[in-house]
Structure 1
Amino acid sequence: MNKARIVVTGGFGALGRAIGDALLAAGAQPVLVDQAPAPGGLPHGALACGGVDLNDPLAARRCLEQVAHSLGGLDGMVNVAGGFAWESIAEGDIATWDRMYAMNVRTTLLATQAALPHLRRAGRASIVNVGAMAAGRAQAGMGAYAAAKSGVARLTEALAEELQGQGIRVNAILPGIIDTAANRKAMPGADTSRWVAPAALAQVALFLLSDNACAVSGALLPVTAA
């Protein structure tokens, strides 16, 4: 991972920051991309690109072109950008389904499309998408979110097949509930013993980005606490 240039979408959130920390510790150069303005407290040494709407194809392409030009290329990306909403189907709003698709699938698709020309030039690159365990079996209230994360899983599988033999591996990690301050606030009193820490998830992403996973592509890897 030494000097590898890695884009992390959703980079200003808890998981994005943890992945940035892990990349820096491994000697890589992370570039944290997010729709929000760059906040303080980002991993020291990480580059930050705030105010980027990854639902806009032109904005995504411009951002990745600028990053690749600045760094002399790209070696990988981690698509963390996404969102969650709890809503029943019977009383729900179609706008929630559209929003979950846009936040989770569309951002992953457009960021990946924008990065691919630069990743191809690297000769050997890796893409890691963040899905969810909920994509395998949705619980009540999680229909829209689970459907969107299932879309991320299918995108991962299809792209891995499409890029087979081209030097770009594509995998996804499927976390259970991530142990963040926001999730603890949203679910007070919940059993957090099986929640997965952002730092632990970051290490799995790091493995999939690295040459240690050179024979792995098209995998959907569940990640929960032991």
Structure 2
Amino acid sequence: MLGRLKRMVFTNRVIIIGGNGALGKHMVDTFKTDWNVTNIDLAENPNANKNILLKECSFENYSQHCKKSLSGTYEAIICVAGTWATGGISNIEIFSQIQKLIDGSLEPAILASHLAADHLNDSGLLVFTGAFRPFKNTYPENLAFTLMKNATHSLALNMAVRDKISPLATVTTILPDILDTRVNREAMPGENRANWIDPGKVAELVKSWANGKNMPTNGSFAELKMMNGKLIPEFI
């Protein structure tokens, strides 16, 4: 009986794209307790059950490279890969920043969508990571970031039509503002962090959805807020 229960624990499988990043590590650790976790990233996360590394691979070959190591369907595909750049349209670095954001944010979201078409199971969950500020307002001082996140938001809406995935699948997008990470603390040492988003709680929330608890509606966007130490998703 115990052996049977142990096998059942790891029946659920998740693909986490960006599983070695600041938020991704929390996702891997949170799911790893009772899910089988595949990390797709530039670098290995030793806590994942499987790692598919993109470091030596061009974007054009992402699909072929990943599918060689994937089999069957997965209960969840979660994209938490991302990067950051500051500066507006007059910034001489805007061109390189846009390319950086395409590489680090948009391409992983496209990969997640493409893999979902073949590997997300019929009632599976597809999660994108957007951003609250570009979603709700203009954000010209961080233009490259805004353009790439809004492209991700558009991609999520198109995936929610469920043209190439099961009509029973759920597509949702989380919209954090500032995640409470080491990098953000170093970049903004004087900021009040009371409302910064705890990445561990984000991982717990997404896992609860993947387990079928308080599932978001298909096509929804969840603004994430910290209130009295609790993470509250407000659906938009």
Q: Where does structure 2 lack aligned partners over 5 or more consecutive residues?
A: 1-7, 228-236
CA gap 1:114/1:53 in 2 versus in 1, 3 angstroms: farther
1:76 aligns with 2:76: yes
**RMSD of aligned Cα (Å):** 2.4
1:30 aligns with 2:34: no
Higher RCO (C-alpha under 8 Å, 6+ residues apart): 1
* Cα separation, 1, equivalents of 2:100 and 2:61: 19
SS of the residue 2:15 aligns to: strand
* Cα separation, 1, equivalents of 2:203 and 2:56: 24
Alignment of 1:56-135 (within 5 A): 56-68=59-71, 72-92=72-92, 93-119=94-120, 122-135=121-134
1:167 aligns with 2:168: yes
Q: CA deviation at 1:206?
A: 1.5
Q: Deviations over 1:121-144 (max 9, x none)?
A: x32211001111122224452111
Q: TM-score, normalised by structure 2?
A: 0.81
* Cα separation, 1, equivalents of 2:67 and 2:178: 30
Aligned to 2:19: 11
Q: Where does structure 1 lack aligned partners over 5 or more consecutive residues?
A: none
Q: CA deviation at 1:165?
A: 5.7
CA gap 1:174/1:135 in 2 versus in 1, 3 angstroms: same
Letter in 1 for 2:35: A
CA gap 1:215/1:17 in 2 versus in 1, 3 angstroms: closer
* Cα separation, 1, equivalents of 2:201 and 2:18: 17
* Cα separation, 2, equivalents of 1:24 and 1:14: 16
Is the CA contact (8 Å cut-off) linking 1:23 and 1:206 kept in structure 2? Answer: yes
Q: CA deviation at 1:155?
A: 0.9
Is the CA contact (8 Å cut-off) linking 1:61 and 1:115 kept in structure 2? Answer: no
Give 2:51's match in structure 1, choosing from 44, 48, 52: 48
Q: Deviations over 1:147-176 (max 9, x none)?
A: 211111111111111348622211110011
Q: Deviations over 1:190-210 (max 9, x none)?
A: 111111111011122213323
Alignment of 1:205-220 (within 5 A): 205-214=206-215, 216-220=217-221
CA gap 1:34/1:169 in 2 versus in 1, 3 angstroms: same
CA gap 1:104/1:51 in 2 versus in 1, 3 angstroms: closer
Q: TM-score, normalised by structure 1?
A: 0.85
